[in-house]
């Protein structure tokens, strides 16, 4: 606790939409913890493509998604929508904040992994 950062740490703040201010293949690891759970579908694919762009070949993209374990916030009809395999988006007008909630059934997770592995060697596994 309380450790110092080395001199080669740079913080960047990005906009709600891509692109990032980094060159192609800049990183060997990109992680997005509790990010895609707050982005509506219209922003998810552009960000998947953009994050893949900044990962070097053979790099890893680690991200978290919400599923059935996080159902307290959604209605019964939204739960049924989820169980039919449909993406559920709550309060999309608040994209990028905790007010926007996105729930990813397994059917929507698999294409994310396939997109990354088909387009150049980055690894993304949907669990």
Contact (CB, 8 A) for 113 and 61: no
List, for residues 31-69, the tens digit of each pLDDT value. 999 999 999 999 999 999 999 999 999 999 898 888 888
Averaged pLDDT score across all residues of the chain:
84
pLDDT of residue 113: 56
* Beta pairing, strands 55-63 & 27-32: parallel
pLDDT band at 1 (very low <50, low <70, confident <90, very high): very low
Winning range, highest mean pLDDT, from 61-65, 95-99, 112-116: 95-99
């Amino acid at each position: 606790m309380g450790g110092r950062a080395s001199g080669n740490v740079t913080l960047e703040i990005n906009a709600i939409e891509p692109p990032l201010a980094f060159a192609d293949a800049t990183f060997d690891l990109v992680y997005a913890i509790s990010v895609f759970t707050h982005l509506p579908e219209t922003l998810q694919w552009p960000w998947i493509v953009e994050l893949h762009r900044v990962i070097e070949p053979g790099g890893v993209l680690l991200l978290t998604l919400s599923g059935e374990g996080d159902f307290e916030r959604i209605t019964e009809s939204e739960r049924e929508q989820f169980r039919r395999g449909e993406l559920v988006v709550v309060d999309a007008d608040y994209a990028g904040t905790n007010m926007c909630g996105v729930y990813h059934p397994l059917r929507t997770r698999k294409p994310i992994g396939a997109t990354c592995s088909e387009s150049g060697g980055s690894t993304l596994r949907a669990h």
